[in-house]
Amino acid sequence: MQVHVVKSDDGETVERSDAAIFEGGQVWGRPLSAGLSEHTNVSVVNFAPGARAGWHTHTRDQVLYVVSGIGKVGDRDGEQVISAGDCAVVPADLEHWHGAHDTGSPMAHLSIMPVGAETTVLEE
């Protein structure tokens, strides 16, 4: 067993704007822990201004840590502005969305979830 370091130029950032979950603009993603952890998935997701994930749920908790920009996270009770350094914990099965949305700023966050978590995209 050893420590694995994922360097900033390792891996590929892939545009994911066409994925069913995203709407409103361009979105890019890069897995950071793929094949390195049997317990945790970590990826960085970059949202252009106006882009967001639509309504969805996960079968396990999701942690979102904002690394740059300004965004929003919302559930059926409302929405909150999030910015660099903020951390949102989304409980399993909670209907929610997140992204840059209408802040006028791009936003990037880490998405941290257990391996095996499933995502369901919802109709608005």
pLDDT of residue 57: 98
Number of domains in the chain: 1
Strands (E), the chain: 14-15, 22-23, 27-31, 40-47, 52-58, 62-75, 78-83, 87-90, 96-99, 107-114, 119-121
Position 4 in a domain: no
All residue ranges of the chain with pLDDT < 50 are none
Quote the pLDDT of residue 99: 97
Q: What is the CATH number of the domain that holds 29?
A: 2.60.120.10
Task: Decide if 7 is inside a domain.
Answer: no
Is 86 within the bounds of a domain? yes
- Which range of residues forms the domain containing residue 110? 14-121
- Please report the pLDDT score of residue 69 as a whole number: 97
pLDDT at position 121 is 97
Any domain includes 5: no
pLDDT at 2: 86
* pLDDT score at 56: 98
Position 9 in a domain: no
